[in-house]
A and B are shown apart, each in its own frame.
Chain A
Amino acid sequence: MEFKSRDFSQAARVLKIRKLKVGLAGRPHAAPVLDGIDLDIRAGETHCLVGESGSGKSVTSLAVMGLLPKDALEVQGGLIALEGVEITAASASQMRALRARKIAMIFQEPMTALNPVLRVGEQIEEVLNMHTDLSQAEAKKRTLDMMDQVHLPDVERIYKAFPHQLSGGQRQRIMIAMALILDPDLLIADEPTTALDVTTQLQILKLIAEMQERQGTAVLFITHDMGVVAEIADTVSVMQQGRIVERAPIRDLLTDPKEDYTKKLLRAVPNLAPRVARAAATKRDVIAVQGLDMTYGGSGFFRKSEGVKAARDVNFTIKPGRTLGIVGESGSGKSTVARCIMRLIDPTAGKVTVAGTEIAQMARRQLQPHRKHFQIVFQDPYRSLNPRWTVARSLCEGPINFGTPRDEAMATAAELMELVDLPRDALDRYPHQFSGGQRQRIAIARAVAMKPDLLVADEAVSALDVSVQAQVLDLLDDIQDRFGVAMLFITHDLRVAAQICDEVLVMQKGLVVEHGPAAEVLSHPRHDYTRNLIEAAPGRHWDFANFRALDTAHPRQGATA
């Protein structure tokens, strides 16, 4: 894989940070949030700040922008200089003048960063009205021109659109237009593609690179995704607990990481090489889905509307001990399939046979005794456990529903805690006392407590940091080995799918476009959509865990580096 390798030592230094210390406001002796950050970014350079959640990436960017939350965080020492001018102690009005002209920022979630009640064109124009003396007509012309530069289609129409009328990718383009319209010297991008689908992500990354090329902007790019880093970075700083532990050009960092933490981080990144498929324990299917259809809406009281066909004619089977992955972008219907199988929603047509029982059309009340055969783990570990219940109560809920005596359920719960590698005394605690990864383990333990034949994991590792993600994937693997459960794994992340799935099913707009063994689908995709998905996966030619190029990579189809 090709990395960027331009030398910036001759370029002008745009941002210089020295020994930056940020701590809790009014508590100079408490442990600092950022401790001695040094950073240099030169014109035209893309510097990536990587690290797990809580490592201080975003705080660093907010400190540069002068946007640290008042009364919570404050700069306690060090220096931030923009083009040789110190801004560490700049007043609020000085910073306001600097923002947009000299530094601009784009955020992760463009829906919340844009004002929902103003037309997007007006929002871009407002930047011009605030910082320039352009006339109304000139400002509008410049806005439309900028919207054109970020490759928005039909700019006159989009100028008049409200944020909710645009797609996620279009909104992020609007944010980029807004950030770059005054041609700032430094662009800070805080996880700007994390909320986007991979194909959209690729387009946005390309757009940022293109704009950077054109305007010579320095970019500080914050991300947790090593694949994105591999695609776009010139230089990288790895952050851990408020410190920069390693700083290196991208190639050096990925081929020869010096620090243990960097190695640990890279080892946790799953690669796109599919796992060796496992043999089924028995011939019997745990689950068989035939012709599953789900249409939302459709039967209006006054008029029949078409409805949204979220899933159409989905067919698959899973055998014990095997994992089927459903991959696709948002809106592809993959979660709808999971929810139909769990009967959290009622499918409009089709058959779902779990452990020999047809459940798709069964009445809810009759379904109750069969629920123990299939269990689900959700995406958001913060919301999937009742915050008012102790862990013990959550773990016992299912077994008690099925007639297990309380003592026995408690004993099982204690064993399960050991299985998911949490201390037994954690049983008496509440979910808010655990980290995201720990909560996800508890949610898995709760599902396993039912001794299900089928475990559905709906984006179960998507909200987790990459090292925690690796641990949870290992745990799922272990559970599958031990209990021989069949698993349906819903994910948007092809790397994760490659790590855990024996078989993959690719969905697009409710239709299954490809279905086959993981090795086959991921290495030799037959459908265009699958191919696009794989090609859009950032850093797909690099085996991060082994610090080398991926040797199973198929011939490259287009330059992405």
Chain B
Amino acid sequence: MTEIPTSRHSAFQVLTGLFSLPAGARIGAGPMIAAVILVVIVLAAVLAPLYVPYDPLAMNSAARLQAPSSEHLLGTDPYGRDTFSRVMVGARVSLLIGVGAAVVSVAIGLMIGLVAGFFRAADGVIMRIMDSLMAIPAILLAIALVALNGPSLMSVIIAITVPEVPRVVRLVRSVILSAREEPYVEAAIALGSSMPKILIQHLMPNTFAPLIVQGTYICASAILIEAILSFLGAGVSTEIPTWGNIMAEGRTYFQIKPGLIFWPGLMLSLCILAINLLGDTARDLLDPRMKKREG
């Protein structure tokens, strides 16, 4: 009876106290490569202004539509702007929109979801509002917002966030609804813990693992939607290079200069692939069914 297995904490668990990685869980080669790719892309984007050889907006009529050379690594576009510089700097906006949309929709969704899951009275009203928000397509909303406010980063993030929030709310609500039936929550009620304390300390941590997974998917889909919106001309202003903008402009010259679409497209695909792969890995690791009972 008194024999207790020695504590086995992964560093991750000690750090956060939130999750316990299943004993012996190994992260495969795929996710490792994905992580490396993502880190490289993020670093390249953040540090872009320090190393790109040209101002991504500087036009040069003498150097239009050039082929890749030592001077212009990936060639130039119809205005003589350096494609390499534009793709690298463009990553900044794309990633910013991805992360921004993910963080904003998870944060808002978490708050609304907690309320909907915990307070029975609010549940019906909130969920019907969420259902109606879900019916708004991101692209139409973006076009409407751009028409109202003009193209801006904010409009794009709002347009992507609004239809995502209800999905997060549903997720959080369902987790809270099942967690609140757990005996340890009832025990906390019996111990006289206040409602906010139970909600924040007992219930909310249950949502973190699924939210991390959901967040990565939102991030990937936001980057993609941003590219689509820019391609349609409903995204951020055309002066700011983003992967979508670059591809939209390269469309006309696609037959003579496929690189104008290929390079930003490749970056976009790699980036989304890497994020989704990491999301899948996180889901597998954090899924409670993967956890083993010890002791």
Contacts and interface: CB of A to CB of B under 8 A. Distances in A.
Interface of A: 342, 344, 368-369, 371-372, 374-376, 378-380, 382-388, 397-398, 401-402, 421-423, 426, 428-430, 432-435, 437-438, 443, 446-447, 450, 471
B189 A344 contact: yes
B191 A401 contact: yes
Contacts of A371: 190-192
List the 8 shortest-distance A-B pairs measured between CB atoms, nearest first.
A398-B191, A371-B192, A384-B183, A378-B183, A433-B295, A401-B192, A386-B184, A383-B183
B293 interface: yes
A376 B187 contact: yes
Contacts of B191: 371, 375, 397-398, 401, 446, 450
Interface in B166-195: 182-184, 186-194
A433 B20 CA distance: 12
A384 to B, nearest CB: 4
7 contacts: A344-B186, A371-B192, A397-B191, A422-B2, A422-B4, A435-B1, A447-B190
B4 A433 contact: yes
A559 B17 CA distance: 58
Interface string B1-31: 1101101000000000110100000000000
B294 interface: yes
A384 B4 contact: no
Contact of B7 (A372, A402, A429): A429
B257 interface: no
Interface residues of B, number: 26
Given A371-B192, A433-B294, A384 B2 contact: no
A383 B184 contact: yes
A378 B187 contact: yes
B283 interface: no
Contacts of B189: 344
B182 A383 contact: yes
A383 B202 CA distance: 13
B184 A368 contact: no
A437 B188 CA distance: 20
Contacts of A443: 187
A388 B18 contact: yes
Given A386-B188, A398-B193, A428-B7, 10 more contacts: A342-B186, A383-B182, A397-B193, A423-B2, A432-B295, A433-B5, A433-B295, A434-B295, A446-B187, A471-B1
Contacts of B193: 397-398, 401
B205 interface: yes
A421 B2 CA distance: 8
B249 to A, nearest CB: 50
Nearest to A368: B192
A402 B18 CA distance: 26
Interface in B191-207: 191-194, 197, 202, 205
Contacts of B4: 422-423, 426, 429, 433-434, 438
A209 B119 CA distance: 52
A389 to B, nearest CB: 8
Interface of B: 1-2, 4-5, 7, 17-18, 20, 182-184, 186-194, 197, 202, 205, 293-295
B291 to A, nearest CB: 8
Contacts of B194: 368, 401
B293 A382 contact: yes
A433 B186 contact: no
Contacts of A435: 1, 295
A382 B187 CA distance: 13
Contacts of A402: 192
Contacts of B182: 383
A379 B182 CA distance: 12
Contacts of A438: 1, 4, 295
B13 to A, nearest CB: 9
A359 to B, nearest CB: 12
Contacts of B18: 388
A437 B186 contact: no
Given A421-B2, A438-B1, A388 B205 contact: yes
B202 A386 contact: yes
Given A368-B192, A397-B191, A385 B1 contact: no
A432 B293 contact: yes
Contacts of B184: 383-387
A401 B1 CA distance: 31
Nearest to A385: B184
A344 B187 CA distance: 9
Nearest to A452: B190
Contacts of A437: 1
Contacts of A421: 1-2
A471 B193 CA distance: 30
Contacts of A422: 2, 4
A264 to B, nearest CB: 13
Q: Which of B1, B5, B192 has the most CB of A within 10 A?
A: B192
Contacts of B293: 382, 432
Contacts of A446: 187, 191
Contact of A372 (B188, B192, B202): B192
B294 A432 contact: yes
B2 A376 contact: no
Contacts of A426: 4
A301 to B, nearest CB: 11
Contacts of B20: 430, 432
Contacts of B183: 378-380, 383-384
Nearest to A342: B190
A447 to B, nearest CB: 8
Contacts of B2: 421-423
Nearest to A378: B183
A371 B188 CA distance: 11
Contacts of B190: 342, 344, 371, 374-376, 447
A471 B1 CA distance: 10
Contacts of A430: 7, 20
A196 to B, nearest CB: 23
A126 B17 CA distance: 49
B180 to A, nearest CB: 11
B100 to A, nearest CB: 29
A460 to B, nearest CB: 11
A486 B98 CA distance: 59
Contacts of A374: 190
A559 B18 CA distance: 56
Given A383-B182, A402-B192, A388 B17 contact: yes
Contact of B192 (A382, A385, A398): A398
B23 to A, nearest CB: 11
Nearest to A339: B186
Nearest to B203: A386
A526 B199 CA distance: 48
A372 to B, nearest CB: 6
A119 to B, nearest CB: 29
A71 B52 CA distance: 52
A50 to B, nearest CB: 21
